[in-house]
Amino acid sequence: MGKELDLNSLALNLSGAEYDPQAFPGLVFRLKEPKTTTLLFHSGKLVCTGAKTPEEVKRAIEMVVMNIRKAGVHITGPPAYEVQNVVASADIGHPINLTSAVISLGLESVEYEPEVFPGLVYHMKDPKVVILLFGSGKLVCAGARKPQDVEAAIKKITAELRSADLLH
- The model's pLDDT over 42-70, given as tens digits with 9 standing for 90+, comes to 998 999 999 998 899 999 999 999 999 99
The strand ranges marked E within the chain are 27-31, 36-40, 46-49, 86-91, 110-111, 120-124, 129-133, 138-144
Sorted by where each starts, the structural domains of the chain and their CATH numbers stand as 7-70 (3.30.310.10), 86-163 (3.30.310.10)
pTM of the model: 0.79
- pLDDT value for 1: 47
> Nearest-CA neighbor of 141 among 99, 75, 88?
88
- pLDDT value for 74: 87
- The model's pLDDT over 114-138, given as tens digits with 9 standing for 90+, comes to 999 999 999 999 999 999 999 999 9
> Nearest-CA neighbor of 56 among 76, 34, 41?
34
